[in-house]
Amino acid sequence: MTVLDDLVAGATEDFLRREESMPLPVLRDRALATVPARDVVSAWSGPDVAVICEVKRASPSKGRLSRIPDPALLAAEYARGGAAAISVLTEEREFLGSLADLRAVRRSVGVPVLRKDFIVSAYQVWEARACGADLVLLIVAALEDAQLTELYRLTTELGMTALVEVHDEAEAERAAALGAELIGVNARNLKTLEVDRSTFGRIAPLLPESAVKVAESGIRNAQDVAAVAAAGAGAVLVGEAVVTGADAAATVAGLVEAGRRAGGRTR
């Protein structure tokens, strides 16, 4: 089994356990009573590169990154620095996240919030909406075509935006066929955990011009933001660089300024 296979298996076991305590009909009622999701695609279609900052305690590749005793406070610092959205890891086993983190962040910020997890079921999409998420991550490598289509449809029907993540040319083709409006190109191979910073530049030209393209993994500084912007990125997703920095707001502000300077480049 690959690393991705293990993560998906663990996430599946965990959501099935949660479903036992909160049946889907109850979860649906909670989700439908939630404030409507915020639009992101139109907001990120302008010239500036949007910066999505991550609440992430740990990862399979690096282990523990930060304790983050108060995810709401960290998210507020990201927002103060100008983050366009907050990504919250809710995977419990390797990333040490939780849905409680997602709910806390949602209460603390007004910017869009992304549930980042290994989503393979409709139940998890309903969970995301019930917790106030505006976006959910759908990893093409983790889903068969029928699953991907169904989860994308449900996400859209609930008013959320799917960040459809790809890693190679074949996955890019599947995301394009899906009609995804927001496509993430992850430089980290989820089967080996290796990062190849050339991935975005190789894959982005294969994606629809109309889609907002998000560069994921390997974004460390302003120079990295400029590089992916030149290759067509409309947004970047940054994790390690912001959770390990001494001043989260200042780190984010520097990345946001780099995104502004890169504004106007061809996408």
Active site residues: 54, 56, 116, 165, 186, 216-217
Q: What spatial distance separates the first Cα and last Cα of the chain, rounded to whole Å?
A: 37
Asked whether the beta carbons of 95 and 193 are under 8 A apart, the reply is no
Integer angstrom CA distances of residue 137 from 67, 80, 113, 168, 171 = 23, 24, 11, 17, 14
Give, to the nearest 10 degrees, the angle between helix 248-261 and helix 71-80: 40
- Tell me the Ramachandran region of residue 85: left when phi exceeds 0, alpha when psi lies from -120 to 50, beta otherwise: beta
Reduce the DSSP state of residue 50 to 3 states and report it.
Answer: strand
Sign of CA dihedral 115, 119, 125, 130: negative
What's the CA gap between 147 and 266, in Å, rounded?
A: 33
Integer angstrom CA distances of residue 198 from 53, 114, 152, 219 = 21, 25, 27, 12
- How many residues does the structure list for the chain? 267
What's the CA gap between 95 and 63, in Å, rounded?
A: 8
- CA 203, 208, 211: angle at the middle one, nearest 5? 100
What's the CA gap between 32 and 26, in Å, rounded?
A: 10
Output DSSP code: residue 36: P
